[in-house]
Amino acid sequence: MKISREWCMPNKNTFDMKPARSFIYKHIILGEFWIDPFARDSDIATVTNDLNPDTNADHHFDALHFLKMQQSNSVDGVLFDPPYSLTQLKECYNNIGRALTQDDSQYYFSNIRNEIARVLKPGGKCISFGWSSGGIGKSRGMVIKEIKLLAHGGNHHDTIITMEEKQWNKE
């Protein structure tokens, strides 16, 4: 597994940080089918989704619903840049008039990770962004291939990027 670290200014639009964008393009192969369930205004993935109807995403579904619409083993890659905490998730949902339920707060991210593992083809990649390197997880058939830490300095949390591949045979 490769681990690297680079300093950059923080940005609420993660993919606007040059090291994050470079990391993504290093792993996407032209012609592959990639999805982004939390795209905001990003157009990197083949098909984009964001719950907020004021974004430029292709679809405006809840991320879990969007992932459930995808066929099993049909996606070459997923860009997974969700709100990094339950507080951020609540703020995102409240801003568009949807209350965060107890089920959302207990199981939401776990259910999304399950769906990402389901839709990825064997050998497919997931590039996750957040404050932990947990990614989608070994228990879901994923293997971490690379981690990049984006250090922001001061009192800012690092952004942690994890690139995982789905195993051909879940062991």
**pTM (2 d.p.):** 0.90
Note every long-range contact of 136-143, with CB atoms under 8 Å and residues 24 or more positions apart, other chains counting.
136/80, 136/164, 137/113, 140/113, 140/114, 140/116, 141/117, 141/166, 141/167, 141/170, 142/117, 142/166, 142/167, 143/167
Please state the domain extents for the chain.
Answer: 2-166
Which CATH superfamily is 2-166 part of?
Answer: Vaccinia Virus protein VP39 (3.40.50.150)
* Amino acid 171: pLDDT: 45
Nearest to 71 by CA among 121, 26, 111, 27: 121
Each residue's pLDDT tens digit, 8-43: 999 989 999 999 999 999 999 999 999 999 999 999
* Amino acid 102: pLDDT: 62
* 12 Cβ contact list (under 8 Å, min separation 6): none
Q: What is the rounded CA–CA span in Å between residue 2 and residue 141?
A: 19
Other beta carbons within 10 Å of 120: 27
Q: What is the rounded CA–CA span in Å between residue 7 and residue 10?
A: 9
Q: What is the rounded CA–CA span in Å between residue 7 and residue 156?
A: 12
Per-residue pLDDT of the chain (171 residues; tens, 9 = 90+): 999 999 999 998 999 999 999 999 999 999 999 999 999 999 999 999 998 899 999 999 999 999 999 999 999 999 999 987 666 666 666 566 566 666 656 688 899 999 999 999 999 999 999 989 999 999 999 999 999 999 998 888 999 999 999 998 654
Nearest to 78 by CA among 133, 26, 119, 138: 119
Q: What is the rounded CA–CA span in Å between residue 105 and residue 113?
A: 14
